[in-house]
């Protein structure tokens, strides 16, 4: 009688061999894919620079280059046109306020002054004659009033006498009426003469007032012409150093022509140009420092110019405290401009990798240091020494920061 033989449970030797072979084949396949499925390039490790990612304080500043300029520049414009007669002070010399720098000559202006003086003299003579006429007329009016008063007294007396005689019927009525009419006529003439004298006086006073007003305007006009004559002497408006003088003897200069400038040297400013990338972060009052002869000097932004030209905008900085002893116009200073407060951050040293990758990825070394793999990262702010890492790297990792122009599009570097 047959009996059923049960199969033994568990792994047999041939099964173990199959599983082992499968694992080995998988590992081999993974190795092949890892080695040959990823683009790579061999690089001499002596031709690259690597640095360690570290945790530290990120100092938010930029380095800019600036040139020393006078704190203010006052431009010299010719207020009056003319021909250069004499250059009194040469370019580069120090001047005081009011010093004559250039003397101009303008024949037309001299002729205009002569005409104005002649017109003024005529107006003065007219005013003088009017006053004389007014005085004579006033005297004549007073004489007429006096005669009228005297005449009315006589005619009043005659009228009263004839009235008494007529009342006593000693004279004819015609004689009485004639005396009465003569008296009344003289009385009315006195009123008319008084009114005429008053009106004549008002008219003459008004005429003299108008002449005085015209005379005053002419004098002011003449003063302005004299001032124009004085403007033929181009003077320094402030103390400073005369610069960029453009005037030669015999040269004809028109009114408003710029002929030079005066540099005010009581203080200095530094003009600097900054990349437009920072325009939203730059504002008046930001602090800055500059080192000269191993000594640090503090500065601040005085003015931000809004115009952007060729990707740059200009700022003016001034010293907030002491300034270098040997400061001179035209010197170039390297300035550290503080944009914000310092803060703890993950940092990597600056390198030319940024120009090739735009800061979007970087090569990160493995633990053996024999290979470096491309890894995507995100960077934040930057200063002249470091980049701030937002994510993608951890402190202690090492990264390649130079030599990217030789790496091509490879994802893996094999360091030899």
pLDDT for the residue 1: 47
| Residue range 139-162: mean pLDDT, rounded | 85
Residue 215 sits in the same domain as residue 113: yes
Question: Across the chain, which distance is largest between two alpha carbons, in Å?
Answer: 213
Could you report the per-residue pLDDT of 165-203, keeping only the tens digit for each? 888 888 888 888 888 888 888 888 888 888 888 887 888
More confident residue, 273 or 132: 273
User: Which of 283, 317, 338 corresponds to the end of one domain?
Assistant: 338
Rounded mean pLDDT, 96-125: 82
Range 316-329 average pLDDT: 89
pLDDT digits (tens, 9 = 90+) for 128-143: 787 778 778 888 888 8
User: Does residue 398 have a pLDDT over 90?
Assistant: yes
User: Is the residue at 32 inside a domain?
Assistant: no
Q: pLDDT by residue (tens digit) across 231-268?
A: 888 999 999 899 888 888 988 888 888 988 998 888 89
Query: For residue 269, what are the contacts with CB-CB under 8 A and spacing of at least 6?
Result: 68, 69, 70, 71, 302, 316, 317, 318
Asked if the structure places residue 25 within a domain, the reply is no
Say whether both 314 and 362 belong to one domain: no
Domain span at 354: 37-59+343-415
- What confidence score (pLDDT) does residue 27 get? 60
Q: Which of 31-35, 116-120, 398-402 is predicted with the least confidence, judged by mean pLDDT?
A: 31-35
What's residue 199's pLDDT?
84
Q: Are both 376 and 315 inside the same structural domain? A: no
- Which CATH number does the domain housing residue 350 bear? 2.40.420.20
Indicate the length of the chain as a whole number.
416
pLDDT at 123 over 70: yes
How do beta strands 287-292 and 258-275 pair? Answer: unpaired
Query: Looking at residue 11, what is its pLDDT?
Result: 55
Task: Answer yes or no: do 299 and 212 share one domain.
Answer: no
Separation of alpha carbons 104 and 368, rounded Å: 84
Give the pLDDT of residue 55: 94
pLDDT confidence of 32, banded at 50, 70, 90? very low
Q: 275: closest CA among 60, 69, 59, 63?
A: 63
**How confident is residue 3, by pLDDT bands cut at 50, 70 and 90?**
low
**Residue 221 in this model has a pLDDT that exceeds 70:** yes
Locate 40 and state its tokens. 């790579």
Question: What is the overall mean pLDDT for the chain?
Answer: 85
In this prediction, residues 362-383 reach a mean pLDDT of 92
347 in the same domain as 331: no
Q: Which of 298, 317, 338 is the last residue of a domain?
A: 338
Look up the CATH number of the domain holding residue 286.
Answer: 2.40.30.170
| End-of-domain residue from the set 321, 338, 355 | 338
Looking at per-residue pLDDT, the higher value among 221 and 9 belongs to 221
Cα dihedral: 83, 89, 93, 96 (round 10): -100
Check pLDDT > 80 for residue 9: no
Q: How many domains does the chain have?
A: 3
* Confidence class for position 33, pLDDT limits 50, 70, 90: very low
Q: What is the pLDDT of residue 337?
A: 93
352 phi, psi to nearest 5 deg: -75, 0
356: in domain: yes
Q: Angle at the Cα of 265 (from 273 to 68), degrees rounded to 5? A: 20
More confidently predicted of 198 and 54: 54
Is pLDDT at 34 greater than 60 in this prediction?
A: no
| Pair (362, 326) in one structural domain | no
Q: What is the reported pTM?
A: 0.55
At 14, the pLDDT band (50, 70, 90 cuts) reads low
């Amino acid at each position: 009688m047959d009996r059923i033989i049960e199969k033994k449970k568990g792994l047999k030797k041939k099964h173990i061999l199959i599983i082992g072979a499968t694992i080995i084949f998988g590992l081999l396949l993974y190795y092949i894919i890892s080695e040959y499925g990823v683009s790579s390039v061999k690089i001499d490790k002596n031709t690259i620079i690597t640095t360690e990612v570290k945790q530290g304080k990120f100092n938010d500043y930029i380095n800019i280059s600036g040139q020393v300029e006078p704190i203010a520049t006052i431009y010299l414009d010719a207020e009056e046109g003319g021909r250069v007669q004499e250059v009194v002070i040469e370019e580069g010399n120090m001047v005081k306020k009011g010093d004559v720098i250039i003397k101009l000559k303008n024949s037309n202006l001299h002729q205009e002054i002569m005409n104005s003086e002649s017109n003024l003299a005529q107006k003065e003579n007219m005013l003088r004659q009017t006053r004389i006429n007014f005085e004579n007329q006033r005297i004549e009016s007073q004489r007429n009033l006096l005669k009228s008063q005297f005449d009315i007294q006589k005619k009043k007396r005659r009228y009263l006498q004839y009235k008494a005689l007529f009342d006593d019927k000693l004279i004819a009525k015609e004689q009485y009426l004639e005396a009465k009419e003569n008296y009344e006529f003289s009385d009315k003439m006195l009123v008319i003469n008084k009114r005429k004298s008053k009106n004549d006086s008002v008219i003459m006073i008004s005429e003299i007032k108008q002449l005085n007003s015209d005379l005053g305007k002419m004098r002011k006009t003449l003063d302005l012409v004299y001032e124009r004559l004085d403007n033929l002497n181009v003077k320094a408006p402030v103390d400073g150093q005369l610069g960029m003088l453009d005037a030669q003897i015999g040269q004809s200069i028109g009114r408003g022509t710029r002929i030079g400038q005066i540099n005010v040297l009581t203080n200095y400013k530094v003009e600097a140009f900054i990349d437009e990338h920072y325009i939203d972060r730059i504002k008046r009052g930001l602090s800055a420092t500059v080192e000269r002869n191993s000594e640090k000097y503090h500065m601040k932004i005085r003015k931000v110019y809004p115009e952007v030209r060729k990707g740059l905008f200009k700022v003016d900085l001034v010293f907030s405290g002491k300034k270098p002893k040997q400061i001179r116009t035209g010197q170039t200073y390297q300035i550290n401009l503080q944009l914000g407060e310092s803060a703890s951050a993950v940092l990597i040293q600056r390198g030319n990798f940024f120009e090739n990758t735009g800061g979007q990825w970087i090569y990160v070394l493995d633990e053996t240091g024999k290979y470096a793999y491309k890894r995507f990262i995100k960077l934040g702010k930057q200063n002249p020494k470091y980049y701030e890492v937002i994510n993608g790297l951890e402190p202690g990792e090492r990264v390649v920061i130079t030599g990217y122009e030789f790496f091509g599009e490879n994802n893996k570097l094999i360091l030899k």
